[in-house]
């Protein structure tokens, strides 16, 4: 029986590196300051704090999985699924940001609304990059 050498590990592409970096930063903030993310949990879901902590841990696991070549094949689709799963929270943040802008005109409200709205279409390239990293 002939043993074939393992296929060379491709370096993580720039898009997947961006996903891993975003997961790393966001995951840490989810765990250290969960209160920041609790309002983003859609109102229909129970136990916002637990969901924020769980998603933070999942983001850190996906970041590590993308960076480690041996786990990248599984981490790519897992990362894409996580990004899709948290999309409703991103929508909730955008809705709340626009509502805050319309009703309060608080300092920074326009910037928050713009950032949360601009972030929504960015989710799709992140999902594609994460998925591609698993191939």
Q: Does residue 5 form part of some domain? A: no
SS (H, E, C) 30-48: HHHCHHHCHHHCCCCCCCH
> Per the domain annotation, does 4 fall within a domain?
no
Tokens of 106: 């608080």
Decide if 39 is inside a domain: yes
Q: What is the pLDDT of residues 51-81, one digit of tens each?
A: 999 999 999 999 999 999 999 999 999 999 9
> What per-residue confidence (pLDDT) applies to 90?
93
pLDDT bracket for residue 27 (50, 70, 90): very high
- Examine residue 58 and state whether it is found in any structural domain, yes or no: yes
Q: What is the pLDDT of residues 106-131, one digit of tens each?
A: 778 888 899 999 999 999 999 999 99
* Length in residues, the chain: 135
| Domain, as residue range, for 74 | 14-133
Model pTM score = 0.87
87, part of any domain? yes
Q: How many domains does the chain have?
A: 1
pLDDT of residue 7: 63
């Amino acid at each position: 029986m002939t043993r074939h050498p393992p296929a060379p590990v491709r370096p993580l592409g720039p898009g997947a590196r961006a996903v891993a970096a975003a997961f790393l930063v966001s995951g840490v903030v989810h765990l250290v300051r969960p209160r920041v993310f609790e309002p983003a949990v859609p109102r229909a879901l129970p136990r916002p704090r637990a969901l924020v902590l769980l998603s933070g841990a999942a983001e850190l696991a996906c970041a590590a999985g993308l960076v480690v070549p041996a786990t990248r094949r599984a981490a790519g689709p897992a990362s894409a699924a996580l990004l899709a799963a948290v999309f409703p929270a991103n929508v909730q943040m955008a809705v709340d940001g626009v509502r805050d802008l319309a009703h309060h005109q608080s300092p920074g409200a326009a910037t928050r609304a713009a950032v949360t709205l601009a972030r929504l279409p960015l989710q799709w390239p992140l999902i594609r990059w994460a998925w591609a990293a698993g191939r």
